[in-house]
Amino acid sequence: MVKKIILLLCATSTAMAQTTPVAAASVVTLSQKKVAELALQQGYRTKEVNLQYQQYKLPFAETLAKYDWLLGVTTGYELDKQAQLLSSQTLDPRNKIERYNTTLTLSKPFTTGTLATIELNRLSLNADYDTALTVQPPDNQTLDRAGIVLEQAILGNFFGVADRGTVNAAEENYKASEILRANDLENVVLESIRQFWTAYIAQENFKEAVSARDRYKKLVDTVRRKTSLGYSNPGDLPQAQAELETREQTVKSTSTEYLAAVENLLTSLALDPKSEVKFEMSTMLPAMPSLPPVKTEDLRAIRSQKLKVSAAEESLSASKSLAYPTLNVVGKAYTTGVAEKSEDSYSELTGGSRPDYYVGLRFAYNFGSDIQNERIVYNKLNRDLEQTRLQRQLVEVIDSNTQAERKAQAAYSIAQSAEKQKEFRERAVTELQRSYAQGRTDINNLIIALNSSFTAEVQYITAVGNYHIALNEWAASRDELIPDEQPSENGK
């Protein structure tokens, strides 16, 4: 009984599965241009590149943060009953002093080597003294103090030489990385285009494999008919059947490669991997373009490297300035007010009747590790390294552009030759099929011709794809695959 129920459930589930409609896969039409657009708009690699380059802004922001405004507020309460020397007040344990102290400071360093600080302070005092004292101090007092402090570097970091060098180096390094972002996006687009052509070539190879299998099926039927009539040579039928099995294997392998290539393409474009892909292709082979010479100095790689050289020079200048001892001029200007009432103290403060001025020098020098000279040596080596890279890249970009153009020209010639070769192979198959049907050609010659024709079809499709890829690589070497954004007339 249990077995019958299980069989019934299995049959019911099978019937339901057969009657349940399957959602049709969405169809995605892809061309080379659309693949490039999708790669830039929503591709995973594009998002990775953009996020990576956004992280490069942090070092520049951290450098600028050293010159932020700094607001500080401290406030507190103090109860003082401690003993004091030379004071009769400390003999009575009833003596106590309560202090309320609040200080507000606002400071900012400037890239001129200047540190400016504004300070406001209020000290409120509430005291209980022994009433037997002959001289009775006030129980409540308020002391207000306000002033400004200016400190200017005149030796090490002379008037901000090191500060400006550090900021300029950070800014130029950030700009250099931003310029290279377009190059990395070009590489993403190139990779997407290569995947597009890989998928398209895999599709055409699969179609050619199916077409070749159908041809061999017809050949097997022809040989079997000739064998039944006694017109075929010994071994012709098994040989044709063996080649048919080879074509069956090729269909399976090319089908697997095609599906894998399409899935990789859809994944890189952030599309549904279950989508059905239709390739929008033109059978015409575009002519080789004639492009004017490109200015090497205008290429992004060179502009970026020049900024890196400039940043290295700024860092070297900063390290040389910081190698000197610190000698700063310090100026202070304060005004104070004191009274039993806080409003009276504030009025005295704003009246400026109790000024306090100070002018002096602050000197500091650390020694022992020779770190100053080591920083100079390091930055000199870094500058020389960036200059050497610039000289190398000036030559390499010229070579890269020349080689990319040469590769495109060769790919165009190969594609033209492959097209002619395909036509010749197809003509040879047609003639040998007619000859074999008439009994004037050995089957080996026909099999060789069929296989060569299949290979020629595959080579032609591959040559066309290689030509399109070479054209895009040539455009990328000229910074034309993803051009720089041009500012509009209104500056936006």
Per-residue model confidence as pLDDT tens digits over 352-368: 888 999 999 999 998 88
Most confident residue range from 242-251, 306-315, 444-453: 306-315
pLDDT at 13: 38
Kindly report the pTM of this predicted structure: 0.80
pLDDT at residue 485 in the model: 62
**pLDDT higher than 60, residue 389:** yes
Three-class SS of residue 389?
helix
pLDDT of res. 423: 93
Tell me, what's the pLDDT at 94? 56
CA distance 377 to 272: 55
Rounded distance between C-alpha atoms, residue 146 and residue 121, angstroms: 6
pLDDT value, residue 328: 95
CA distance 327 to 113: 11
- pLDDT band at 281, cuts 50/70/90? confident
Q: Which residues contact 109 (CB under 8 A, 6 or more apart)?
A: 66, 67, 115, 116, 163
Q: Which of 22-26, 31-35, 53-57, 145-149 has the lowest mean pLDDT?
A: 22-26
DSSP code per residue over 300-350: HHHHHHHHHHHHHHHHHHHHHHHTSPEEEEEEEEEEEEEESSHHHHHHHHH
Lowest mean pLDDT among 64-68, 289-293, 329-333: 289-293
Q: Report the distance separating Cα 122 and Cα 144, nearest Å.
A: 5
Q: Locate tokens 């009994």: which residue?
A: 439
> Lowest mean pLDDT: which of 19-28, 42-51, 411-420?
19-28
Backbone angles phi, psi at 490, to 5 degrees: -85, 5
Distance between CA atoms of residues 48 and 227, nearest Å: 64
pLDDT for 119-129, tens place per residue? 999 999 887 76
- Mean pLDDT for the stretch of residues 452-469: 92
What does the pLDDT read at residue 273? 86
Half-sphere exposure of residue 375: CA atoms within 13 angstroms, side-chain side: 16
* pLDDT, mean over the chain: 87
Residues 6+ apart with CB under 8 A from 45: 39, 188, 191, 192, 268
Structure tokens at 214: 């159908």
pLDDT of residue 343: 84
Average pLDDT of the residues in 160-183: 94
Q: Report the pLDDT value the prediction gives residue 84, as an integer from 0 to 100.
A: 59
pLDDT band at 278 (very low <50, low <70, confident <90, very high): very high
pLDDT band at 22 (very low <50, low <70, confident <90, very high): very low
CA distances from 44 to 76, 188, 229, 395, 434 (A): 55, 10, 63, 33, 54
Residue ranges of domains in the chain, CATH in brackets: 27-59+167-308+381-477 (1.20.1600.10), 70-109+114-156+326-364 (no CATH)
Which helix (H) or strand (E) covers residue 42, if one does? helix 32-42
Is 50 exceeded by the pLDDT of residue 139? Answer: yes
Q: Are strands 27-30 and 276-279 parallel, antiparallel or unpaired?
A: parallel
**Tell me, what's the pLDDT at 5?**
35
Task: Calculate Rg over the CA atoms of the chain.
Answer: 42
Is residue 283 classed exposed, middle or buried when 0-12, 13-18 and 19+ CB atoms within 10 A define those classes? Answer: exposed
